[in-house]
């Protein structure tokens, strides 16, 4: 064995001089002995490891059938024995119904406004809880994530209700964009008022001391509403669909400009605790700019001429994307930490924390949320080259057509993301006593925000698992299965670089060896099913701790597992809907019962 290379099924045989009379006899004995050893005793014989494979960057052992392999096996991932509410699949259906009901209960509409403090139709309550803790506010971040969830998961269930909810949210958001608040006046040239994190439910500013600004809210809102416009085909040439173009012009454009003006400004993280630069914030900022550019370019591909304002915005988006992407990837941001082997959420506090944070996983899942395997940077301008010679304002953006499509940064299968996830889960498994019954089982566990957390949902003591963290873990795993399936490429496993795979495989004597599993081989499909079960084991952990009515608070206690903190947290229900959506997608793809 040398490096990542292992010569299999071969022996060096030196040349021995023999007399002519014994040549055939000795040859026969040697060959016969070799064949007996090869087929009866050698653990490396053909049929165990099919052959050695090289893709130009390294050499790998190829595994096609685990039943014929001794050293390299899938880890056993048992299913939870603690499944109540009849059965697991029935619970998924029941929990989906409860989650949608609770999400809609927590979104103000015309009928409920008088009941909930004259709330502004379209605002999203983080929680109905008004004391211990008081979460009865509209957080820009929570609201945007919730609306995006409904667009992705409920539109096919009730398109009319979803449309009405989204349009109410749009109107409420436009109202908020044109209000002064502690983050800035309404006429601020840098639009800093948009960085205000939360409002009263009637849209009036929250003027007490708070962690502000929080610069992830506007880009998350832009991501959600660009997703809505794409779902309505607004960038097509249809006059009927252009009825919603005003949402881009009146609302999304301001959010994109906010990102362009403020991406380089430090802000508080999504947990509202640390004023610094954060991976989550930078990633959603970049995603908003990329999606905004894609929307404009899609209009051009449909033959719709850009206005002068859109052409200027497109140029600014191009420049902004380059700057934000460069920052994320640069050593100055500190997000990429090769020494630790994973992404760091907030590099400035590494002297106090490990850098592990479910926010990193959320950054990856929120920015990679399409079923389209080609959902990356929309920068292939060759298809728009006909516009470069055309008169009008839309021609200047296409004088250089040498860019090509590139994937969006840090997809869910990136080793730096999976390593982060693995490290976080390993620590949480030990940190929370309610996980100790799963130690050594390779099953999913209850996951909190970050290991050093001391917020207990009401005050400061000990941190707990969160439903959104545990459900995001399931979502990541289901998306990994989806990515492996649709790319139709062999699975390359490098155990030294990516510790995540130790949760899935028992490497035996191959700890230092790279392995290649061909796409659609028996071993590949067995691997997909094992990873799928791993995702389900996170859902089964949630099943253990929801209330008898399917209610989910913000947290559940690390010792006894009962709900704790803000009751009926909207984000908890939305994250369940996201995880279930991706479970259903991959379930339909791989049909695990048939594997």
What is the 3 state secondary structure string of 271-320? CCCCEECCHHHHHHHHHHHHHHHHHHHHHHHCCCCCCHHHHHHHHHHHHH
Q: Quick one: which of 293, 457, 300 has its CA closest to 379?
A: 293
Catalytic residue among 71, 142, 216, 269: 269
d(CA 240, CA 254): 24
Q: Which long-range contacts (CB under 8 A, 24 or more apart) does 175-182 make?
A: 175/120, 175/203, 176/140, 176/203, 177/251, 177/254, 177/255, 179/203, 179/205, 180/205, 181/205, 181/206, 181/207, 182/206, 182/207, 182/210, 182/212
Q: 119 and 105 in contact (C-beta within 8 Å)?
A: no
Q: Is 250 a catalytic site residue? A: no
DSSP notation for 547-585:
-TT----SEE-TTT--EESSTT-HHHHHHHHHHHHHHHH
Catalytic residue among 272, 275, 316, 318: 272
- Report the chain's C-alpha Rg in angstroms: 27
Q: Is 269 a catalytic site residue? A: yes
Q: Quick one: which of 192, 177, 183 has its CA closest to 249?
A: 177
Q: 361 and 473 in contact (C-beta within 8 Å)?
A: yes
Q: 63 and 517 in contact (C-beta within 8 Å)?
A: yes
Active-site amino acid positions = 269, 272
């Amino acid at each position: 064995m040398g490096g990542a290379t292992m010569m299999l099924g071969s022996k060096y045989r030196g040349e021995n001089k023999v007399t002519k009379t014994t040549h055939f006899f000795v040859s026969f004995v040697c060959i016969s002995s070799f064949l007996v050893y090869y087929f009866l005793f050698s653990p490396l014989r053909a049929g165990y490891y099919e052959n050695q494979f090289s893709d130009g960057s390294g050499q790998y052992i190829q595994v096609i059938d685990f039943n014929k392999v001794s050293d390299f096996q899938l880890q056993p991932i048992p299913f939870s024995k603690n499944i109540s509410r009849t059965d697991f699949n029935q619970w998924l259906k029941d929990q989906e119904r409860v989650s949608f009901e609770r999400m809609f209960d927590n979104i103000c509409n015309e009928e409920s406004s008088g009941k909930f403090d004259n709330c502004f139709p379209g605002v999203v309550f983080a929680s109905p809880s008004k004391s211990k803790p008081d979460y009865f506010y509209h957080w820009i971040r929570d609201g945007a994530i919730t609306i995006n969830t409904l667009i992705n998961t409920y539109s096919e269930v009730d398109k009319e209700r979803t449309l009405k909810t989204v349009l109410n949210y749009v109107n409420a958001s436009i109202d908020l964009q044109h209000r002064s608040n502690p983050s800035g006046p309404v006429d601020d040239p840098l639009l800093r008022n948009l960085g205000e994190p939360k409002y009263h439910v009637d849209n009036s500013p929250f003027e007490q001391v708070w962690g502000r600004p929080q610069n992830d809210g506007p880009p998350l809102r832009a991501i959600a509403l660009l997703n809505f416009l794409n779902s309505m085909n607004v960038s097509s040439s249809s006059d009927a669909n252009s009825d919603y173009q005003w949402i881009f012009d009146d609302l999304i454009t301001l959010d994109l400009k906010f990102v362009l003006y403020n991406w380089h400004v430090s802000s508080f993280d999504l947990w509202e605790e640390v004023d610094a630069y954060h991976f989550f914030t930078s990633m959603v900022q970049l995603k908003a700019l990329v999606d905004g550019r894609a929307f404009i370019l899609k209009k051009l591909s449909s033959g719709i001429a850009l206005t002068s304002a859109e052409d200027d915005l497109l140029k600014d988006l191009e420049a902004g994307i380059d700057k934000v992407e460069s920052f994320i990837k640069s050593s100055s941001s500190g997000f990429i930490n090769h020494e630790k082997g994973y992404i760091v959420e907030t590099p400035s506090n590494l002297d106090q924390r490990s850098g592990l944070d479910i926010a990193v996983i959320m950054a990856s899942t929120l920015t990679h949320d399409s079923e389209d395997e080609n959902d990356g940077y929309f920068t292939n301008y060759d298809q728009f080259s006909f516009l470069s010679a055309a008169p009008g304002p839309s021609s200047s953006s296409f004088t250089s057509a040498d860019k090509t499509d590139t994937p969006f940064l840090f997809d869910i299968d990136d080793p730096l993301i999976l390593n982060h996830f693995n490290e976080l889960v390993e620590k949480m498994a030990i940190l929370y006593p309610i996980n100790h019954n799963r130690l050594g089982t390779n099953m999913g566990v209850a996951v909190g925000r970050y290991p050093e957390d001391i917020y207990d949902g009401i005050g400061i003591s000990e941190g707990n698992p969160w439903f959104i963290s545990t459900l995001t873990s399931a979502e990541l795993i289901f998306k990994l299965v989806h990515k492996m399936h649709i790319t139709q490429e062999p699975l390359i496993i490098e155990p030294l670089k990516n510790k995540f795979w130790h949760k899935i495989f028992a490497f035996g004597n191959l700890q230092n060896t790279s392995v290649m599993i061909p796409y659609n081989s028996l071993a590949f499909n067995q691997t997909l099913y094992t990873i799928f079960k791993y995702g389900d084991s996170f859902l089964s952990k949630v099943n253990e701790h929801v209330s008898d009515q399917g209610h989910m608070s913000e947290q559940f206690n690390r010792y006894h597992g009962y709900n704790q903190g803000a009751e009926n947290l909207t984000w908890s229900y939305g994250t369940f809907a996201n995880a279930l959506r991706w479970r259903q997608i991959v379930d339909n793809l791989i049909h695990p019962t048939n594997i």
